[in-house]
């Protein structure tokens, strides 16, 4: 048995009203997107979410067996996130650290990898998704570039877990339409084509393997767009839990952040589904919620969503850029 | 690049660990000292202590003129960081983040926030700033 | 052992001296001294020199810079750097050497070229060190004392501003002062915020300057003047708020310690001081210093100035020269210039800012070092023999 004992999210304080971006840029403008402060980075945001998850678990940071992170926006080719989160939490020494990236499936891959590590090693694992999507004023995606982090602690068992792992599914297709270089806006192709042949072929297969016949009550889905996220849950009659209207596109982190939000707001005894669709395929995880759901012992995602401060389109762009001082780049 | 400078006290910087003088109770942070800044004991017997991730503002200013890599207005304070157990707090400079002048005063309690203080080349140097609790922004 | 005596002083007009190099400043101050010694001085009489600068212009200035400016290449010249107490500590070192009998005619010269670098001291606040004053500029360091003083005592914003008003008024009467204008309490309160709670007119300007004095043994003093001034005492001490003392949040324990050393050596107390030149890099600094030097009780600095006691016509005139707020603060020169001013006051030569027949004068600097984590204070007490 593998359970989730401890869940938590983090959303930066600042928000840009997408209608303000639309006013200067054109396009639609509903909802808001989270803007990281100038002094936040992937590691610091991941640590905020991890602190909340650990506060709700019976695990001390120093007792973690592994830290697995998922991100599609880590700016570094070499530096990583997982080891720095682990060190900050006191999980040094013989601790496995893994940085998963390259596709939004990194989120479900992280959950699957963690589940296997727990089962094989009988040791707790922290999974963190963290992303700060680049905002390029030349791109249609500029208004939706979001930021956020989510974390869960997986253990062999717990006194009062938030959920139990019921199934994990994968569908690897090699299909790529939406893709993106480091630090740049994504290139999006024909949405109808991608809905049918990308997410339409990958997500249902992964979901079916994870659910194994169970009927989910609630689900979260990470995908490059709202439309593709909807398509990822297309074949399932389920209530979708999403922070995207308030956070924007949070990349792979969206799956874990929304899962934390789901576990904070759902009832015990339900089936919950996590789906991530991205470059190369889709992944899915089915969970049975338990008595440890809720918002006790840590700041809730709802608190982060409500405790916000409006900022400008200019800051939305600027805060994601490295700081320049006297011509020297100092991110 | 100045890696050694940031590696020396990285454990203290990321875990808020202090060192208490067994002769007078003064707490050194973040340096692991062998002499005491208060009583002058040398060699001093210094015991490692855990500090809490919160601080009490002793005094503060709000900076308006700073080099471009520090955003202004920038509140900066002298904060007392209490020990997790019994004993005196450590006293240190703390930069405040996401906090306005109207939200703070002498005596205001602030929470430690893990943030990027600056970068060494491209490498972020993360440690703690302080802010009013996030929920107070609701 | 002999009592050191000041026998001459040289001073240049402080200001934005774009036309003068760092070396020019030293040369000007030296020539001013040579020309102002009552009975004259032959450069070959000078047997040692102390040079105060923090070298903010980053010219690699050392003792040899003074040799280049004066021609005293065969004379031992020591550079002193001790934050904003640099000039006064250079003087203290010279006085000590004369007292010990190791030097008989000592030159003290202080200079700072502040305007060659537009970044000045602000860039140092971007310091890439954790917990060590990142973001803490000089106005921030002193402003923190203001915040706490306002909170803890009955000090008012107007009382703090009054110090700037007083010193600017004095400055208009002192020919060497950089800023020659008067301002009101309202002007101070309405000037732009530099670092809350301090505004622009609470801060000293950025100023170039240099000054020099000559210190001799008692035996030789009358070779140079019939009216020498005795160095009665001196003190130097450091402190940091990190030691945890509550008074280090509102005041400067280093000044208390340095002044008590100086008073003890002089056999005098704060009540004996007739005129003082103290460190008013910011208005609040002078207010705190009244308390730390014992001119008034702790927490009563605001009341002290409100009652007019440190004013030119008060019973304890402080900074008749206009202080750093008006005269300017070329760091290495500041302390030496203050000694020159006390020397003039005690000799009755201070012109429009002359106070009434002073017998004892006090000079004080407080400096901030080690990335704004440490304070160092130097106090010198001079007396008519």
The model's confidence at residue A329, banded by pLDDT at 50, 70 and 90, is: very low
Give the active site residue among C5, C84, C281, C378: C84
Which residues of chain B does C244 touch, with a Cβ-Cβ cutoff of 8 Å? Answer: 26-27, 38, 88, 91
Q: Is B9 on the interface with C (CB under 8 A)?
A: yes
Which position has the higher pLDDT, C128 or A93? Answer: A93
Per-residue tokens: C55:
């070298």
pLDDT at A25 > cutoff 90:
no
What span, in angstroms and rounded, lies between the C-alpha atoms of C240 and C218?
37
CB contact under 8 A, B114 and A84: no
Closest CA to A100 of A114, A120, A89: A114
Closest CA to B70 of B104, B106, B96: B96
- Chains in contact with chain C (at least 3 beta-carbon pairs closer than 8 A): B
Domain boundary assignment for chain C:
5-117+204-383
3-state secondary structure of A152: strand
CB A212 within 8 A of CB A167: yes
The model's confidence at residue B1, banded by pLDDT at 50, 70 and 90, is: very low
Residue of B nearest to C241 (CA): B91
CB contact under 8 A, B13 and C132: no
Which residues of chain A does B138 touch, with a Cβ-Cβ cutoff of 8 Å? Answer: 303, 306-307
Identify the sign of the CA torsion C340, C346, C350, C354: positive
Report the pLDDT value the prediction gives residue C128, as an integer from 0 to 100.
85
Write a three-state SS string for C73-130: CCCCEEEECECECHHHHHHHHHHHHHHCCCCCEEEEEEEECCCCCCCCCHHHHHCCCC
- What are the distances in angstroms from CA A183 to CA A34, A132, C121? 17, 10, 35
Closest CA to A66 of A133, A152, A1: A152
Residues belonging to chain C with any Cβ–Cβ distance to chain B shorter than 8 Å? 119, 122-123, 125-126, 128-137, 139-140, 143-148, 151-152, 192-198, 240-244, 249, 372-373
How many Å separate Cα C365 from the centre of its chain? 5
Rounded to 5 degrees, φ, ψ at A7 are: -140, 145
CATH of domain C5-117+204-383: 3.40.47.10
What is the average per-residue pLDDT within C129-143?
93
Report the pLDDT value the prediction gives residue A320, as an integer from 0 to 100.
87
What span, in angstroms and rounded, lies between the C-alpha atoms of A119 and A154?
10
How many Å separate Cα B44 from the centre of its chain? 22
pLDDT at A12 > cutoff 90:
yes
The model's confidence at residue A327, banded by pLDDT at 50, 70 and 90, is: very low
CB contact under 8 A, B134 and A323: no
3-state secondary structure of C241: helix
DSSP state of B136: G
Bridge partners of C124? Answer: none
CB B129 within 8 A of CB B94: yes
Q: What is the ipTM of this complex?
A: 0.96
CB C380 within 8 A of CB C362: yes
Report the pLDDT value the prediction gives residue A326, as an integer from 0 to 100.
43
Per-residue tokens: A43:
């590691």
Report the pLDDT value the prediction gives residue A242, as an integer from 0 to 100.
98
pLDDT at C80 > cutoff 90:
yes
- What are the distances in angstroms from CA A90 to CA A8, A67, A85, B18? 18, 11, 9, 16
Rounded (5°) CA angle B51-B56-B60: 125
pLDDT at A193 > cutoff 60:
yes
Q: Which of residues 76-105 of B touch A (CB under 8 A)?
A: 97-98
pLDDT at A112 > cutoff 80:
yes
Per-residue tokens: A19:
């209608």
CB contact under 8 A, C144 and B78: yes
First-to-final CA distance of chain C = 16
**Looking up tokens 């005491």, which residue turns up?**
B36
The model's confidence at residue A217, banded by pLDDT at 50, 70 and 90, is: very high
Q: How many helical (H) and strand (E) elements, i.e. helices and strands, does chain B have?
A: 2, 8
pLDDT tens digits along A259-291: 999 999 999 999 999 999 999 999 999 999 999
Q: Which of A87, A304, A325 sits opposite B69 (nearest CB)?
A: A325
Q: Is C204 exposed, middle or buried (0-12, 13-18, 19+ CB in 10 A)?
A: buried
Bridge partners of C77? Answer: C49
CB C177 within 8 A of CB C328: yes
CB C213 within 8 A of CB C5: no
Which residues of chain C does B63 touch, with a Cβ-Cβ cutoff of 8 Å? Answer: 125, 135, 137, 139-140, 195
Starting at the edge strand that comes first in sequence, how are the strands of the sheet with A14-17 ordered? A32-35, A14-17, A309-311
Question: Chain A to chain B, count of Cβ pairs less than 8 Å apart?
Answer: 68
CB contact under 8 A, A299 and B114: no
pLDDT at C200 > cutoff 90:
yes
Instruction: Report chain C's mean pLDDT, rounded to a whole number.
Output: 96
pLDDT at C306 > cutoff 90:
yes
Closest CA to A21 of A313, A311, A246, A250: A313
Contacts of A21 (CB under 8 A, 6+ apart): A27, A29, A33, A142, A143, A313, A316
Contacts of A232 (CB under 8 A, 6+ apart): A199, A203, A221, A223, A275, A276, A277, A282
pLDDT at C170 > cutoff 50:
yes
DSSP state of C309: T
Contacts of C175 (CB under 8 A, 6+ apart): C13, C351
What is the average per-residue pLDDT within A11-29?
89
What span, in angstroms and rounded, lies between the C-alpha atoms of A213 and A201?
18
Q: Which of residues 46-85 of B touch C (CB under 8 A)?
A: 58-67, 69-70, 73-74, 76-78
In order of their start, the domains of chain A are 3-321 (3.40.47.10)
Is the bond preceding residue B43 a cis peptide, omega within 30 degrees? yes
C204 is catalytic: no
Q: Is A269 exposed, middle or buried (0-12, 13-18, 19+ CB in 10 A)?
A: exposed
Identify the sign of the CA torsion A255, A261, A265, A268: positive
Q: Is B17 on the interface with C (CB under 8 A)?
A: no
CA distance B116 to chain C (A): 11
What percent of chain B stands above pLDDT 90? 86
Give the active site residue among C176, C178, C279, C329: C329
Which residues of chain B does A309 touch, with a Cβ-Cβ cutoff of 8 Å? Answer: 98, 137
Closest CA to A139 of A35, A278, A244, A25: A25
pLDDT at C265 > cutoff 60:
yes
Mutate to test the interface with C, among B76, B95, B106, B113 (most CBs of C within 10 A): B76
Q: Which of C130, C132, C196 sits opposite B61 (nearest CB)?
A: C196
Report the pLDDT value the prediction gives residue B107, as an integer from 0 to 100.
98
Furthest CA-CA distance within chain B: 50
pLDDT tens digits along B29-76: 999 999 999 999 999 999 999 999 999 999 999 999 988 778 899 999
Element (H, E) at A103: none
CA distance C128 to chain B (A): 7
DSSP state of A194: I
pLDDT tens digits along C326-362: 999 999 999 999 999 999 999 999 999 999 999 999 9
What percent of chain C stands above pLDDT 70? 99
Mutate to test the interface with B, among C137, C140, C243 (most CBs of B within 10 A): C140
What is the average per-residue pLDDT within A4-18?
98
What percent of chain C stands above pLDDT 90? 94
Rounded (5°) CA angle A73-A102-A55: 60
Mutate to test the interface with B, among C118, C193, C197, C242 (most CBs of B within 10 A): C242
Mutate to test the interface with A, among B13, B72, B124 (most CBs of A within 10 A): B124
DSSP string, C189-225: HHSPEEEETEEGGGB----BEEEEEEEE-HHHHHHH-
Which residues of chain A does B129 touch, with a Cβ-Cβ cutoff of 8 Å? Answer: 39
Element (H, E) at B47: strand B46-50
- Chains in contact with chain A (at least 3 beta-carbon pairs closer than 8 A): B
pLDDT at C146 > cutoff 70:
yes
Per-residue tokens: A1:
């048995």
CB A139 within 8 A of CB A314: no
What is the average per-residue pLDDT within A91-107?
98
Rounded (5°) CA angle C313-C319-C322: 100
CB contact under 8 A, C131 and B92: yes
The model's confidence at residue A323, banded by pLDDT at 50, 70 and 90, is: low
pLDDT at B115 > cutoff 80:
yes
Instruction: Report chain A's mean pLDDT, rounded to a whole number.
Output: 94
Report the pLDDT value the prediction gives residue C119, as an integer from 0 to 100.
67
Between β-strands C48-52 and C105-112, what pairing exists: parallel, antiparallel or unpaired? parallel
Q: Which of C129, C147, C243 sits opposite B61 (nearest CB)?
A: C147
pLDDT tens digits along C232-262: 999 999 999 999 999 999 999 999 999 999 9
pLDDT at A331 > cutoff 60:
no
């Amino acid at each position: 048995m593998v359970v989730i004992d401890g869940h938590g999210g983090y959303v930066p304080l600042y928000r840009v009203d997408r209608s303000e971006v639309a006013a200067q840029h054109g396009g639609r403008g509903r909802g808001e997107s989270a803007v990281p402060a100038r002094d936040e980075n992937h590691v610091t945001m991941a640590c905020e979410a991890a602190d909340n998850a650990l506060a709700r678990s019976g695990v001390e940071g120093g007792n973690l067996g592994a830290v697995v992170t998922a991100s599609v926006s880590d700016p570094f080719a070499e530096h990583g996130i997982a080891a720095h989160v682990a060190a900050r939490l006191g999980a040094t020494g013989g601790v496995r650290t893994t940085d998963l990236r390259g596709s939004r499936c990194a989120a479900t891959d992280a959950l699957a990898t963690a589940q296997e590590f727990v089962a094989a090693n009988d040791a707790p694992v922290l999974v963190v998704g963290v992303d700060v999507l680049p905002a390029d004023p030349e791109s249609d995606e500029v208004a939706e570039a979001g930021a956020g982090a989510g974390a869960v602690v997986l253990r062999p068992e717990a006194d009062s877990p938030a959920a139990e792992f019921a199934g994990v599914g994968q569908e690897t297709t090699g299909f790529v339409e939406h893709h993106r270089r480091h630090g740049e806006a994504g290139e999006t192709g024909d949405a109808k084509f991608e809905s049918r042949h990308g997410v339409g072929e990958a997500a249902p297969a992964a979901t079916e393997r994870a659910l194994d016949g169970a009927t989910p009550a609630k689900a979260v889905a990470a995908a490059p767009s709202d439309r593709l996220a909807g398509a990822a849950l297309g074949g399932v009659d389920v209530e979708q839990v999403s922070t995207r209207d308030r956070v924007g596109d949070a990349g792979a982190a969206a799956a874990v952040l929304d899962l934390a939000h789901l576990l904070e707001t759902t009832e015990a005894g339900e089936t919950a589904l996590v789906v991530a669709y991205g470059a190369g395929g889709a992944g899915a995880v089915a969970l049975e919620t338990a008595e440890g759901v809720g918002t006790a012992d840590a700041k809730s995602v709802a608190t982060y969503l409500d405790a916000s401060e409006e900022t400008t389109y200019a800051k939305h762009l600027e805060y994601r850029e490295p700081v320049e001082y006297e011509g020297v780049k100092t991110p | 690049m100045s890696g050694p400078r940031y590696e020396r006290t990285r454990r203290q910087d990321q875990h808020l660990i202090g060192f208490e003088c067994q002769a007078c109770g003064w707490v050194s942070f973040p340096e692991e000292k062998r002499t005491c800044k208060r009583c002058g004991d040398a060699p001093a017997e210094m015991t490692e202590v855990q500090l809490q991730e919160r601080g009490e503002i002793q005094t503060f200013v709000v900076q308006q003129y700073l080099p471009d890599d520090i955003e202004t207005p920038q509140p900066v304070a002298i904060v007392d960081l209490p020990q997790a157990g019994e004993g005196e707090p450590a006293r240190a400079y703390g930069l405040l983040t996401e906090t306005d002048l109207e939200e703070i005063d002498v005596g205001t309690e602030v929470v430690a926030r893990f943030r990027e203080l600056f970068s060494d080349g491209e490498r972020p140097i993360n440690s703690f700033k302080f802010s009013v609790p996030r929920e107070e922004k609701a | 052992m002999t009592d050191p005596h000041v026998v001459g002083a040289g001073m240049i007009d402080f200001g934005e001296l774009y036309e003068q190099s760092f070396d020019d400043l030293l040369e000007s101050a030296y020539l001013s001294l040579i020309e102002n010694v009552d009975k004259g001085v032959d450069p070959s009489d000078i047997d040692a020199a102390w040079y105060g600068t923090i070298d903010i212009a980053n010219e690699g200035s050392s003792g040899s810079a003074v040799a280049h400016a004066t021609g005293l290449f065969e004379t031992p010249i020591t550079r002193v750097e001790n934050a904003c107490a640099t000039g006064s500590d250079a003087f203290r070192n010279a006085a000590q050497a004369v007292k010990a009998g190791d030097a008989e005619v000592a030159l003290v010269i202080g200079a700072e070229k502040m305007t060659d670098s537009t970044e000045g001291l602000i860039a140092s606040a971007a310091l890439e060190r954790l917990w060590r004053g990142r973001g803490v500029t000089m106005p921030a360091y002193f402003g923190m004392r203001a915040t706490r003083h306002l909170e803890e005592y009955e000090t008012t914003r107007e009382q703090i501003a009054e110090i700037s008003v007083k010193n600017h008024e004095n400055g208009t009467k002192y020919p060497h002062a950089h800023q020659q204008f008067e301002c009101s309490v309202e002007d101070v309160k309405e000037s732009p915020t530099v670092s809350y709670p301090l505004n622009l007119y609470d801060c000293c300007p950025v100023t170039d300057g240099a000054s020099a004095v000559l210190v001799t043994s008692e035996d030789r003093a009358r070779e140079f003047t019939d009216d020498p001034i005795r160095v009665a005492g001196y003190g130097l001490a450091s402190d940091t708020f990190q030691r945890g003392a509550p008074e280090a949040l509102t005041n400067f324990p280093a000044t208390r310690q340095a002044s008590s050393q100086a008073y003890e050596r002089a056999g005098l107390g704060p009540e004996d001081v007739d005129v003082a030149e103290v460190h008013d890099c910011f208005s609040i600094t002078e207010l705190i210093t009244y308390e730390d030097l014992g001119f008034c009780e702790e927490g009563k600095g605001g009341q002290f100035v409100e009652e007019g006691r440190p004013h030119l016509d008060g019973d304890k005139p402080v900074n008749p020269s206009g202080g750093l707020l008006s005269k300017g603060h070329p760091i290495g020169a500041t302390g030496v210039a203050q000694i020159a001013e006390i020397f003039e006051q005690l000799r009755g030569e201070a012109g429009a800012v002359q106070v009434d027949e002073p017998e004892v004068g006090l000079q004080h600097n407080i400096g901030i070092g080690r990335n704004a984590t440490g304070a160092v204070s130097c106090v010198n007490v001079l007396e008519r023999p």
